[in-house]
Structure 1
Amino acid sequence: MALLIPGPKSLGKDFDVFLEPLIEDLLDLWKGVPTYDALTGKTFSLRAVVLWCIHDYPALSTLSGRTTKGYFACIHCDKHPLSYGLRSKTGYFGHVRFLPKGHRLRRNNEYVGLHESDDPLEKFTIEELLAELQKVRDVRPGKQQETGKRKRSKMEAGRVRIWSRMVSLWKLPYWKFLKLRHNLDVMHIEKNICEALIGTILNILGKTKDIAKARLDLKDLGIKKELQFRDDGESCEMPHARYTLSTRNKKAFCDFLRKVKFPDGFASNISRCVNAEGTKVQGLKTHDCHILLQRILPAAMRGFLDNDIYESIAELGKFFRELCRRKLNKDVLVEMKKEIPIILMKLEKIFPPAFFDVMMHLAVHLPDEALLRGPVQFGWMYLIERRLYTLKCYVRNRARPEGSIAEAYVANECLTFCSKYMDDVETRFNREPRNKGFSDEEAYGVGVFGHGVHFTSANELVYDENSFEQMVCMFRDELETTGVHNVERKIRLGFQNWFRNHIMRLRDTHQEEVDDGLFSLACGPDFRVRKYSSCIVNGVRFNTIDRDKNKKTQNSGVMTQEIIQLEYNFDERTVVLFKCEWFKLDGRRTELNYDGFFKSINVGSLWYKDNSLILATQARKVFYLPDTKLGDNWQVVQTFNHRHLYNVSETESAQYNAPAYQEDECCEDEQRQEPLIGIAPEMPLNRDDEQGLIFGVDEIARMQLKKPPM
């Protein structure tokens, strides 16, 4: 909207002025607007309020009028923030201040006493906040007309300007009483943290936080001496840090990303982001970072980095994974609020101060906002970004973007309205979903026939005449090994024959008591068995292992070998079975490995080979990642719930699946690990397996002359 009024008097970034008509309507809605209720035929007073604003962090400054950069970039730390001037940026470290006084982790911390105060950080009270806003109440929106560089007065020299202007939202009478006015965008916070971790661990040029100036910051602060420059008189060597990967491990990590396959609709193909040389990752989208930070990066680093670094990254990923649940527990959020400062303190013991910018610091305030707001889907930017992408796609004439968007929006509304009245024409409202096929067990007397499986591959017809005789032979062998007398008599009195004869007799005498489902089940299946390689069960796609080998996705679920359809002789009743591989989880060499974050299984040993069939509706989708720590034949199990499906229980006995619009994956219902108790033991932060970068003495001397701002 700011582009509509170009020129020297343009509003620039202060485009909240365009909200003035909306503010007037909101003031009327606060007082109440007479509204007619068509159901009751009465008039009532309609009221509405603004709960909070959703935007990314730069837009927060535009919409609120508060600065989001510099020493007061954190909107929650108004008094004595954690900011500290470094050589290349403003760092936010020293999260020990979030711990209560007397906490044992406050002792021997390298950042204690670095800031002006070690007291816990506080926000302005309502009175202090209004006093700050009164100082800028006369600031007009738009570009300032001053020419030249403005000189600061003596009164302004010792004060940092936190608020730039008083925006129109403060005209709302309830705005000052809201505890959460602007949401921190979890989506972009995850993206920035993930890119910082990957760029630093892989030492990607232009993305890493571990640069020469970051090493000089260590000397200025007198910390991490093993990572400081080594001067031999003629040159200076910057030693490699323990949190970076060697060239061999970089290629191994990129090969790991190439092998990763996700289920259908879970995430994009991350292997496309690995460059041809296989040494760096680039072009990650926000949802790619969302998946990488919570699941993929910690699982990969367990085999490439030391245990203390891996645990710190895994704890950070688990924090965001619990924060992004569809349902939040207040007690869990209170524990997360206590744990996140310790997680950041662990990272401070490993990474340099330049690694901790304001985005890394904002993670400490996310549990507080979740306690006020609720789940993250009510405050992050995924929904907004998708809508903005749709509007950007409307632009056909780049010289007139506003007109293109307006014209396409009107056309889309007209087509949407007309589509509601066209039942005989396929539209996006009546089109069948891509993953169709939901079970309806109540439609049949016997629930196994109501599987609702939709097959998506060609079938293979196999004549299995001897299957019944083979089962009889197996039953005879079991009876003989147990020493049962009169084996043939026991076989004749077997359950299957008894069940079939009983249903036949009951159908002849009391036909009304035997429904078609029981009669079909008693007659047994057809010997001609149909086998498929792909199907959809309750909106979830399942493939066999052979079909998944040549695909970029992994939909074999519980390692499905075959998809078998049994046909019964009445009204096209069928039963769909999955033939699965069950991995052995006990034994000295095949025991389930669980390190508190990930579960690994040995896929080289199988059991229950004779009992490998399950109903298709009993299968739950999982996917596997290569285990970089235990090596071959070991896979990391990743369980998840599909983001387009969720269970809602209207009563205690009824549940149904319905589509849900949410841009995250729901974590499994698992017990939380033991609370964090301390910091990892002291270990050297450098590694000497490779020679570090060499700098000239003169170049280091020039950089040292530029003192960091204080």
Structure 2
Amino acid sequence: MSVSHSTWPVVLMPYNLPPWLCMKNPFLFLSLLIPGPSAPGNYIDVYMQPLVDELKELWDTGVNTYDASTKSYFTLRTSLLWTVSDFPAYANLSGWSTKDSFDGTKEREGPPRSLTGEQVLAELKGFEIKFGKLVKDNPSLPYNWKKRNGKTKDHLKGCRDLEEMGIRHELHPEPLSNGKVYLPPACFEMDKKEKEKFCNVLKEVKVPNGYAANISRYIQVKPTPKMLCLKSHDNHILMHQLLPVAIRNILPKHVRSVIMKLCRYYRQLCSKVLNPNDLFNMEKDIGKILCDLERIFSPSFFDVMIHLSVHLASEARLGGPVHYRWMYPIERYLGTLKSYVRNKSKPEGSIVEGYLAEEYLSFCPLYLASDVETIHNKTSQNHDDGGDDTVLPIFCMHGRPIGASNVVKLGYDTLAIAHSHVLFNCSEIDFLQTEHLNILSHQNPKKRKCDIQHLHSQEFEDDDITEPNLLLYKQIASNQVDEDMTSRDNRITSDIETLANGPSEVVKKYKGYIINGFRFHINDVEKNMITQNSGVIHQALTSSFSSARDNDPIVVDVTYYDVLKDIIELKYGDGKKVVLFHCDWISSGSRIKVDENGFTTLDF
């Protein structure tokens, strides 16, 4: 369609749904469709009046509704929590203009006090609502402010303002002999080489599959470095993750540190889980961040959108996680509605027809058998096979390979290492570690307990598993099977015996694997891909022997950073299998550092 036609949908979103269903397409209700070709403006409340009446009815009297789970009726009531809209629509809906008003007065008072719910109701008591545009003779609606002095770019007039205000002398315009004016560069400006370096970082960046769009398509390095046609979610990812990385070696430290703090503020604000104590600290930090920004950028930079940052943390403290109120699901849904348009001369009719057809497809599958794939039970892109619950958890692999396999034969040493990792991670044979500790203690009676633990950890985890050790593990497991044959479940004893017999030397190797909804690729596959899914991070509790006192080691929390090199499927008896990830990992040492900007850098 074109910009000359404006259609305004009004969508209701129920919030009493699980997080994985809330604000998803099947649960968005198109309640109004305000036709074009022009925007309704302040007349939008006239279109909204029937919907408001229905919402009032649902709040006051409710609707008799059948509950299929309890097979009984109940009174369904609804309450309007908030509205989600862009700022022009916010001004039309509330009657309060979102434009700035500057009269040159210096503000020296503190921040305004937040109003309580009772105070808001008291101020709105007796408030007269007139549908349609504001009338000039109504003194109770003094909201038609006008934007007087809101500049949005750094230009000659902005520098003249700095000169008139007597601040930032290094940015004052300098007249030249030829009649032109020289504008000194600001500390945050980048020259052409710096811009090329900045754009190259964004051009070569790789993000995990499904995390963001291919931002490199919108980055131009030659002949002029610039960014083109970024979507709103692209800017979201750029602000949260990519911008701090791209500027960390370009801008001066006092400039990039403040920008990184602002990016960190938004990244923490948009987390799926929010800590109320952190939000109180964020309310204090954002004020300091904006003050630091005022020392770097010109006053024209600070419009109403920058000022809104002050209120976001307090709004999150009142309303909860922000992903229930932001515009991204709405924008995706607008794209869905646009896709319904088949006749561009009748866009509203096409949208209504497509929406009704989509509703039919949503409700009718509820009456089909569960084994029929529908919109409600279709598998996601990164689904796994669910595993086999009839065997030991070590053999119950909740995942599926990607692509064809490569059958290879492993050497005995490599096979022993792989099998030892399987034994070490099998919770059903924890007795294996206990027995091994007892054997080591008997063989080394003069060693301290921490030395025995260290030796035990090395033999189970390190890459020096020898043939006698592997046979020892097998013997221990077999003895336990013989002792507990009468007391243990036949299924468990059979699986433990299979585990004790060891894997086949013929294994399968894969280049990709999907597990727990995440997609992984080995590092060699990603060289020609635009996404990166070989990174693995794992947090674990481990024993520290370097700082151990007396005989007991100290348990510490260690974060492992891995790069996936290989995916190996071990075959055991009776068709059982275990999939292992072979990684290059870093947990500590000189190859992991935290730089001055707070970035964790790894040298693999």
Which TM-score band (shorter chain)? 0.7 to 0.9
Deviation for aligned residue 1:299: 1.7
Deviation for aligned residue 1:420: 3.5
> 2:97 maps to what in 1?
67
Aligned: 1:545 with 2:536: no
Counterpart selection for 2:500 from 522, 526, 544: 522
Counterpart selection for 1:47 from 77, 83, 91: 77
Output one character per residue of 1:475-506: Cα deviation in whole Å (capped at 9) or x when no partner.
xxxx9xx999xxxx994895224235426755
Deviation for aligned residue 1:130: 3.9
- 3-state SS of paired residue (2:251): coil
Cα contact 2:62–2:78 (8 A) shared by 1:
no
- Amino acid in the other structure paired with 1:16: D
Determine the C-alpha separation between the residues in 1 that align with 2:323 and 2:167.
40
Cα contact 2:240–2:264 (8 A) shared by 1:
yes
Deviation for aligned residue 1:442: 5.0
> 2:110 maps to what in 1?
119
Counterpart selection for 2:410 from 451, 464, 467: 464
Determine the C-alpha separation between the residues in 1 that align with 2:34 and 2:482.
84
Aligned: 1:210 with 2:188: no
Alpha-carbon distance change, 19 to 397 in structure 1, aligned in 2, over 3 angstroms: same
> 2:316 maps to what in 1?
370
- Amino acid in the other structure paired with 1:342: K
> 2:568 maps to what in 1?
564
Aligned: 1:404 with 2:350: yes
Counterpart selection for 1:393 from 339, 354, 357: 339
Alpha-carbon distance change, 232 to 436 in structure 1, aligned in 2, over 3 angstroms: same
Cα contact 2:67–2:74 (8 A) shared by 1:
no
Alpha-carbon distance change, 442 to 69 in structure 1, aligned in 2, over 3 angstroms: same
> 1:432 maps to what in 2?
379
Determine the C-alpha separation between the residues in 2 that align with 1:141 and 1:549.
59
Aligned: 1:272 with 2:217: yes
Cα contact 2:592–2:600 (8 A) shared by 1:
no
- Amino acid in the other structure paired with 2:602: I
Cα contact 1:11–1:142 (8 A) shared by 2:
no
Aligned: 1:15 with 2:44: yes
Matches within 5 A, 1:277-356: 277=222, 279-356=225-302
Cα contact 1:535–1:543 (8 A) shared by 2:
yes
- Percent identity reads 34
Determine the C-alpha separation between the residues in 2 that align with 1:416 and 1:34.
22
Deviation for aligned residue 1:239: 1.3
> 2:181 maps to what in 1?
236
Cα contact 1:11–1:143 (8 A) shared by 2:
no
Determine the C-alpha separation between the residues in 1 that align with 2:229 and 2:325.
25
Count of aligned residue pairs for this structure pair: 493
Deviation for aligned residue 1:222: 1.0
Alpha-carbon distance change, 419 to 5 in structure 1, aligned in 2, over 3 angstroms: closer
Find runs of 4+ consecutive structure 1 residues off by over 6 angstroms.
1-8, 39-43, 468-472, 507-511
Determine the C-alpha separation between the residues in 1 that align with 2:587 and 2:122.
64
Deviation for aligned residue 1:163: 5.2
- 3-state SS of paired residue (1:592): strand
> 1:697 maps to what in 2?
none
Determine the C-alpha separation between the residues in 2 that align with 1:352 and 1:501.
76
Determine the C-alpha separation between the residues in 2 that align with 1:499 and 1:285.
60
Determine the C-alpha separation between the residues in 1 that align with 2:125 and 2:390.
67
- Amino acid in the other structure paired with 1:267: A
Alpha-carbon distance change, 347 to 584 in structure 1, aligned in 2, over 3 angstroms: same
- Amino acid in the other structure paired with 1:339: D
Output one character per residue of 1:24-83: Cα deviation in whole Å (capped at 9) or x when no partner.
223333332362656778876543321211111111011111111131xxxxxxxxxxx4
Cα contact 1:436–1:538 (8 A) shared by 2:
yes
Aligned: 1:162 with 2:143: yes
- 3-state SS of paired residue (1:559): strand
- 3-state SS of paired residue (2:326): coil
Alpha-carbon distance change, 438 to 160 in structure 1, aligned in 2, over 3 angstroms: same
> 2:192 maps to what in 1?
247
Determine the C-alpha separation between the residues in 2 that align with 1:376 and 1:483.
59
Determine the C-alpha separation between the residues in 1 that align with 2:482 and 2:37.
93
Output one character per residue of 1:626-670: Cα deviation in whole Å (capped at 9) or x when no partner.
xxxxxxxxxxxxxxxxxxxxxxxxxxxxxxxxxxxxxxxxxxxxx
Determine the C-alpha separation between the residues in 2 that align with 1:452 and 1:237.
65
Alpha-carbon distance change, 70 to 128 in structure 1, aligned in 2, over 3 angstroms: farther
Deviation for aligned residue 1:553: 0.3
Alpha-carbon distance change, 272 to 208 in structure 1, aligned in 2, over 3 angstroms: farther
Counterpart selection for 1:574 from 577, 581, 597: 577
Alpha-carbon distance change, 368 to 252 in structure 1, aligned in 2, over 3 angstroms: same
Deviation for aligned residue 1:362: 0.5
- Amino acid in the other structure paired with 1:215: C
> 2:514 maps to what in 1?
536
Cα contact 2:522–2:567 (8 A) shared by 1:
yes
Determine the C-alpha separation between the residues in 2 that align with 1:312 and 1:212.
25
> 2:20 maps to what in 1?
none
Matches within 5 A, 1:186-205: none
> 1:219 maps to what in 2?
163
Where does the alignment leave 5 or more consecutive residues of structure 1 unmatched? 72-82, 86-113, 145-151, 165-206, 604-710
Output one character per residue of 1:396-429: Cα deviation in whole Å (capped at 9) or x when no partner.
1111111111111122222333333444654333
- 3-state SS of paired residue (1:254): helix
Determine the C-alpha separation between the residues in 2 that align with 1:54 and 1:470.
59
Aligned: 1:256 with 2:259: no
Determine the C-alpha separation between the residues in 1 that align with 2:242 and 2:564.
23
Deviation for aligned residue 1:528: 0.3
Cα contact 1:455–1:532 (8 A) shared by 2:
yes
Deviation for aligned residue 1:6: 7.8
> 2:539 maps to what in 1?
none
Deviation for aligned residue 1:390: 1.1
Determine the C-alpha separation between the residues in 2 that align with 1:246 and 1:439.
54
- Amino acid in the other structure paired with 2:56: L
Deviation for aligned residue 1:602: 2.2
TM-score (normalizing by structure 2)? 0.73
Deviation for aligned residue 1:121: 3.2
> 1:56 maps to what in 2?
86
Root mean square deviation, CA, Å: 3.8
